[in-house]
Amino acid sequence: MSAPPSTWDVLCCPHCSARLVEHTHGAQCVGCAEEYPRTPSGVLDLRLRRPKVYTARWTINAPLLPPEGFPFLPLPPHPSPHLDLDGLTLPRRLSRELASRIPAPRQPGALMIDVGCGRTIHRPVFERAGFTYVGIDYQDPSAPLLADAQALPFSDETFECAFSISVLQQIPYPTAMIEEVYRVLKPGAFFLGTVAFLEPFAHSFYHCTHLGTYNLLHSAGFEVSHLAPATDRWTVLRAVIGNGLFPKMPRWIAETIIFPVQALHRAWWWAGGFLNPKARYVTRLLQTTGAYQFVASKPGA
């Protein structure tokens, strides 16, 4: 079995996709000769150096959902997860249900990509799963690589898994990001993540409904196996209190503030279920969740 490639083996120019060569101060493209410097801290900066035209095509008036529909049910934990979650403390925005869906690498140390990795808080989770972690971020100086999610500096079919937590809503052209993730994944590889729905973010471009998220993934070619509201612990009430009205408020204070409203909210929907069959638990989650979780895969081997 061949060894997994190093990051340099799979890097390419985000403008023209030609190979990059490393030099003292960064990297240079062998195709268009574009230079990519290192930051003062030594991080390679592979963000676009000039505007790039990205052409997208859509098929209008084609069915979005499969003929049998799509359930949009709460995400269940995987019945036999590859990743051992016992004793594992997960970052706050990564639910145990989504973590249980992290696949096994098809070869030891296969590459995965964390798009919008920030301070790489998810790195230990994926390394424990057996992947070689590659993280990119647009502006966090502690990221392993600086890059634009809309122009990923990697060769086609490089990664066995892609991951993205609360990033899509902060991308000017989310379709470009989804298609780039699809491009750099190997056939059969998984894309897991979350996207904001009713979470308040200061620098958001788009917040996606469950149908909008499904459409983004489906239009790029992904097969969507799960698209679910975040757990009942992350409703719009908690999201607005924690991220918008009182950011960084101690959690116990926030929980005290929202407890009576949350209790009334649930009781109201429960009572409404006797009068209106559409007032179901799943409907309540879809309409009031802070974010959606998704599990999708690239068709193929």
For residues 93 and 192, what is the distance between their CA atoms, to the nearest angstrom? 13
Examine the domain organization and report whether 255 and 193 are in the same domain.
no
Q: Calculate the average pLDDT of the chain.
A: 91
Domain assignment of residue 245, yes or no:
yes
Q: What is the pLDDT of residue 271?
A: 85
Check: CB of residue 113 under 8 Å from CB of residue 167.
no
Examine the domain organization and report whether 254 and 171 are in the same domain.
no
Domain assignment of residue 256, yes or no:
yes
Examine the domain organization and report whether 293 and 257 are in the same domain.
no
What is the span of the domain harbouring residue 247? 236-285
Structural domain count of the chain = 2
Check: CB of residue 38 under 8 Å from CB of residue 26.
yes
Pairing status of strand 291-297 against strand 159-165: unpaired
Examine the domain organization and report whether 129 and 172 are in the same domain.
yes
Indicate the range of 64-73, 79-88, 136-145, 272-281 predicted with least confidence: 272-281
For residues 293 and 58, what is the distance between their CA atoms, to the nearest angstrom? 24
Domain assignment of residue 26, yes or no:
no
pTM: 0.93
Digit-coded pLDDT (tens) for 226-284: 999 998 888 888 888 877 788 888 888 888 888 898 888 888 888 888 777 766 888 88
Q: What is the CATH number of the domain that holds 201?
A: 3.40.50.150
Examine the domain organization and report whether 262 and 191 are in the same domain.
no
In the chain, DSSP finds a helix count (H) and a strand count (E) of 8, 11
Domain assignment of residue 61, yes or no:
no
| List of residues 6+ apart from 94 with CB closer than 8 A | 122, 125, 165
Domain assignment of residue 52, yes or no:
no
